[in-house]
Structures are given as C-alpha cells and as structure tokens.
Amino acid sequence: MAKKQKTLKVNVADSVRIKQDVKAVSYTAKDIYVLEGLEPVRKRPGMYIGSTGPDGLHHLIWEVFDNSADEALAGYARNIAITLLPEHRVRVVDDGRGIPVDVHKQTGTSALETVMTTLHAGAKFGGTSYKISGGLHGVGVSVVNALSMGMKAEVCRDGLQYMQEYVRGKPKAAVKKIGTCGGSGTAITFQPDLSVFETVIFDWNRILEHIRQQAYLIPGVRVTITDARGADTSKDGTPLVPSYTFYFEGGIASYTAYLNRNQKPKHENIFHVGKEIETPNGRKIHVEAAFQYTDDIAGKEISFANNIHTGEGGMHLTGFRTALTRVLNDYAKQNDYFKKDDETLTGDDVREGMTAIISVKLPEPQFEGQTKAKLGSPEARTAVETVVGEGLKEWLEKYPRDAAEIIGKALLAQKARKAAKAARETVLRKGALDGMTLPGKLADCQSKDPAESELFLVEGDSAGGSSKMGRDRKFQAILPLRGKILNVERARLDKMLASKEIRSLIIALGAAIGDEFDVTRLRYHRIVIMTDADVDGAHIRTLILTLFFRYFPLVIEKGYLYIAQPPLYKVQSGKTSQYAYSDAEKDAVMAEMRKKKLDTKKERAAAKGEAVAEGEQDVKGVEIQRYKGLGEMNPSELWETTMDPAARILKQVMITDAAAANHIFDILMGDEVLPRKKFIQTHAAAVKNLDI
C-alpha cells in the first residue's frame, strides 16, 4: 500500500513554548557572509545553470558555444569547432577576434582573467563590440569556469598566443605568452566538476541536435562537432572519431524544410521574411520568421532570441501569432472564403499543421530567468507583429495557390474544431467529470486522494480480470482496454472521441480534454500502462503513449505517466522460483540455481564419502516459463511481479526534448511510410527478443 506522509502539526501555544525554550543567538554584522569571486556559483549552481543534472551539465557547453556564436553574429568568426575529449573534457574553438588580454583598468588584471573569473564581466553590457548577444548576463564562461575542475583558455591575438589555466574558477597563474600563432581566435577547454554534477557524461545526440539547430541560425558559419572520447573502435582496433560539420546558407527557411522532411507539405513555397526594424526608442531589432504547413494535425513553433532557444516562447512568439491570425482572417474575408459575415478563424485554426521558426536579434534582451527560456522584451512583440504582418500580406498576394491551400486547411481545422466541441460536450458531461458516471468497466480504487491513487491501463479483458483480483483496492484502479486503440496521430479530436476505449479513458482520468483539460482535476497521479511483453503489447503501448503525448502532455510533464515492466520469465527449481525481467537476468538466475543444486549434490555425495564425477556435474531440474502475456499470470503472480509497490519495476515516461519526441512520433505513427521503413531498417539490428 502507498505510504502516507507524516505531517507534524504545531498549534500557536506550542510555537510560543518552543520559542521560549530556544537559547538566544546573536545576529550581528559578523553573521552576514559575503561570497567573493565565483563562490556564489559554487554555492548555488542551480541559480545560474538551472540544475546540476544532465540539463545543467549540457548548459555548460551552450554557454561557451554562445560566446563563439556571438563572435559569428558580430561578423568576426566564420568557423566554430566543438570537441568532446576523454575524461569528460570539452573544447570549443572559434576564429573570432580572441578575448582581449591587455590589463583591465577597473580590475587591474588581464581582461582575459577578468572575463573568466568575474561575474557580470564582458563586452556585452555596453559599447559597440556586440550589437546583439546571446550571452546577455555576462556570467556564461565565468560560471562554467566556477563549475569546472579545470579550465584552460587559449587566445590568439596579433600573432601571439596567450594562455591561462584555472581550478574551480581560480587562476593557477597569471596570463602568459606561450608563443606565436596565425590569425586570431579563442579556445576554451573545460572539465565539469565531479563534486557538483550528478553525472558528467555528455550525451552525443543531444549535443548534435542542439548544435545543428544553432548552425541554422548563423547561416554562412561552419560549425564542426567531433566525439574524440575514444569509446568506439573499428574492427582493426583503431579509434572511431564521429564528426559532423554543419553549414547552412538558407538559415531558418532551411531549418523549416529540415523539420518537415518526413511530412507532406501543403504548399510548395516556404514563407520567409527577414527585416530590421527600429523601435521608437531608437533600438534596432532584426526579425526573421519562416513557416510551412503540412498535412499533419499537430503544429510546431520554435522561437529564438539572439540564437537562444526560448522554449517557453515569449513576446516574439505572441507577436508572430497575432500577425498570423489577423492577416489570414483579413485575406479570407477579402477573398470571400467565409460563408457568414461574422465567421472567423481562431489562433488554433490557423496554426494547425504549421511548422514555424521565429528568430529575433535585439540589443539587451530581457529574459525570464538565467536559463533564458522566455523572452520578456515588449518591443520584440511589436517588431515581430509588424514585420510578419507586412511580409505575410505580400507573400499571400504573390503566391495565391499557396494562400488557397493555407486558408483551406485553416477552414478544415475550424470545421473539425466545432465538431470536436460538440463531441466533447457530449462525452464530457458534468456528471462524468465529477465522477458520477464513471465507465462501467473501470474498477476504481477506494482512495479519493489523487496523490496516492494509481490507474492501471491494462491490455485485454483477461489480464484486466487478473489485475482486478490481484490489486490493492485501497489505492489501485484498473481500466481494461480491449484491442488496439485509435492512432490519434492520424485522427482529429472529433473522430478520436468516437472511440469507446478513448472515451472511457478520458472520463476515468476526470480532467477533460482539449481546451477544458485541467490537470488539477486528474483523479490519479500515477497512470501505469501495463501491456504484454510482445510486439502487439509494444504497439498498444505506443498508441497509448501517442494519445498522452498529443492530448495530455501535462500528464507527462508532471511525471504522472509510467510503464509497467512485467517479467519475461519465471525460473523454477523445485519449490524455489524467481522472476527474470530480461534474458541476461534469466541466465544469471539459472546459473545461480544450477550452482546451488550442484553444491547440494556435492554435499550429499561428500556425506556418503563419495565424489561427484566431472561427467555427472550437469544439473537438471531448472525449469523456465516464458510469459507471452499478462493473461498467463494468476492474480498473485501479477501482484508480486508487476503491481506490488515494494517489488515492481516502473519506468517513468519523460520528455527531455519535445522536438525530438515530436519527430519520432511523426515517423512511427504518421502517414508517411518511407521514413518509418528507413527507421526500421536503421534500428533493426538493435532489436532483441522480437516475437514474430
């Protein structure tokens, strides 16, 4: 049974008594601690890089890369190289101007040392060195330095090579001249501090995707990434060094085409506009936007401010949406697409199936938080709305055939929205949402506390029956799902709500769907997908995951969705039995059981003064049962292997990269067959235990 959290309650009288019992402690100026240099970063790293987990670890690379990207944006760097080295080290090199090394008047030390060891120090707070910059706060490289076991900065300026090394943010020695060099540039090599981060293992694919994205945003700049950690070797034993070079002339228009590579475009020409606009206060903002519609239902909007991915959007995204909705409505009215005078397209209508990239470059952008996930600069909204509004009007007139396709898709989305609203009102009656008329096949739990309640989505009636009998009724609910549910990747909401299985699930969850979805009304905070360990079970699991990813993303983001791990085998020797969840575990269990039987056999023989001959040491009597489905388990087996919180294995479903997840769902569950075929061919060799 789920454990209840103990809560200590203290009333007012108790609190007074407690205060009287505490010995007075002095609180004067000497009790105020001032953290100098980079100490605040090491004391509270999460304030500067978001977390000390994988996100924060990779943020170190982004911060150093941003400095090189700023040199490229300023027009000085044409090449950037990132190399993953052994011992978890990373090296970032650019051919920009190189960090200055002359003495800084304010600090009295080299400008290089000042930049590397001082918070809020850099050329991005004023002057003309950087008109636009991603490294707004000036804490980037110094924070990386503070959180690194070791760092080395190498600078080439005016034909001379300079170098300085650091340990946890502190210089080992002064900046020194180490030789001559050609050209100019900066190289930063760092090693994350093992005592700070939960892990120091860098994810190659994650870095690759981020750097590819960045390369689209700085067209004409060559970005190379190399994995020189030496983990893989060829057949002859030589190290394999994967390396990719990205160079894009087309910018975000090319990026839009790349994102739509596995989709069927609704129109041939990609909308693209780029223009610099001056704000009333004299600040210049460069706005760039691109979009293309596909025959998909889901849409993608990716926004950037000074090349920083603003995952939570912000003012620039709001300006884009406003301009898009207004201009398309005006065009539809002017060209008599509406049947009624008061007819209009909503923002959701015009964004269905659209892949859009919005990028703004502006001086001194205001972000919400150091990780810069949301742009808060109000002038960005006005600038984007103006540039996109004017550009889209011209584009629609220039490409009337494309305009017709876009308006037609938006009208179809409008029709589907109205149909879905009617279906939703039918399915999600107030009584159903309040739990008055829950699905008949739902075996609900006794607890009404969502925090301790679990809902198992079980494949098939047979397994559903076993799980109902084996569960703990106090906090575990069972909803059997018959057959494979509808693939919602290919269906609109109105068609989806016609599915009996999906309707039952929506009502059981109790949080509605679509615009009415309210995660605070969710009846269970642990939703467990429990399917057979075979191909059909995997397909059903994928269909359910698609449903949650597309229509209940908050459930995943909150950490409420799980996948049960039923055992593959039951290994039995006499009266002793043990479950195995993989082939490797099965082999280990069998070997252990055989060893015990052989030891017993030898002990018995020794007691008789005999010895077990080598030819008689093969032990039999170890039996293996392979579970093909949950229905093969009786209630007690299902409980002790898959449902008992004390013994079960659950996998929590998480979204680390929404864009990558969206791409995979498009491949696996979309209409296009060729990308899916290619994906299967690429990964077929890695599949084990395939039941055909």
Topology (CATH) of 42-246: Heat Shock Protein 90 (3.30.565)
Per-residue model confidence as pLDDT tens digits over 511-555:
888 778 899 999 999 999 998 877 788 888 888 998 998 889 899
Select the more confidently predicted residue: 198 or 533.
198
153-157, 228-232, 454-458: segment of lowest average pLDDT = 228-232
Average pLDDT over residues 607-623: 67
Across all residues in the chain, what is the average pLDDT? 83
* pLDDT, tens digit (0-9, with 9 covering 90-100), for 569-581: 888 887 888 888 8
Give yes or no for residue 603 having a pLDDT over 90: no
- Exactly one of 39, 536, 640, 644 is catalytic; which is it? 536
Reported as a pLDDT band with limits 50, 70 and 90, residue 675 is confident
Residue 87's pLDDT is: 93
pLDDT computed for residue 686 by the predictor: 60
Tell me if residue 139 falls in helix, strand or coil: coil
For residue 527, what are the β-bridge partners? Answer: 455, 561
536 is catalytic: yes
Predicted confidence band of residue 3 (pLDDT cuts 50, 70, 90): very low
Q: How far apart are CA 441 and CA 437, in angstroms?
A: 11
Task: Return the DSSP state at 516.
Answer: G
- For residues 396 and 103, what is the distance between their CA atoms, to the nearest angstrom? 56
Q: What is the mean pLDDT of residues 269-288?
A: 92
Residue 81's pLDDT is 97
Residue of 352, 459, 501, 637 with catalytic role: 459
Sign of CA dihedral 418, 419, 423, 426: positive
**Contact 65/211 with Cβ under 8 angstroms?**
yes
Q: Which CATH topology does 251-424 take? A: Ribosomal Protein S5; domain 2 (3.30.230)
> Which residues fall within 8 angstroms of residue 452, CB to CB, at 6 or more apart?
2, 4, 475, 525
- Which residues lie closer than 8 Å to 669 by C-beta, 6 or more apart? 487, 489, 490, 542, 543, 546
Burial profile 480-504: b = 16 or more Cβ within 10 angstroms, e = fewer = bbeeebbbbbebbbbbbbebebbbb
> Which helix H or strand E contains 598, and what residues bound it?
helix 583-607
Contact assessment for residue 445 and residue 476, using Cβ atoms and an 8 Å cutoff = yes
Note the CATH architecture for domain 428-566: 3-Layer(aba) Sandwich (3.40)
In the prediction, which pLDDT does 232 show?
A: 64
Residue 655's nearest CA partner among 586, 556, 587, 570 is 556
Pick the range with the lowest mean pLDDT from 216-225, 431-440, 514-523: 431-440
pLDDT on residue 426: 67
Q: Per the residue annotation, which of 63, 70, 454, 534 is the catalytic one?
A: 534
Residue with the bigger pLDDT between 607 and 133: it is 607
Identify the pLDDT of residue 163: 96
Residues of the chain with CATH 3.30.230.10: 251-424
Distance between CA atoms of 456 and 438, rounded to whole angstroms?
A: 15
Q: Supply the pLDDT for residue 496.
A: 82
**Catalytic residue of the set 70, 352, 501, 532:** 532
In the predicted structure, residue 78 carries a pLDDT above the cut 60: yes
Task: Answer whether 0.75 is exceeded by the pTM.
Answer: no
CB 312 within 8 A of CB 374: yes
> Quick one: pLDDT band at residue 263, thresholds 50, 70, 90?
confident
**Can 336 be counted among the known catalytic residues?**
no
Which residue intervals of the chain bear CATH 3.30.565.10?
42-246
Tell me what the mean pLDDT of segment 291-301 comes to: 89
Q: What is the pLDDT, as a whole number, of residue 292?
A: 97
Higher-confidence position of 430 and 420: 420
**In this predicted model, what pLDDT tens digit does every residue of 338-393 receive, in sequence order?**
988 888 999 999 999 999 999 999 888 888 765 568 898 899 999 999 999 999 99
Model confidence band, residue 435 (pLDDT cutoffs 50, 70, 90) = very low
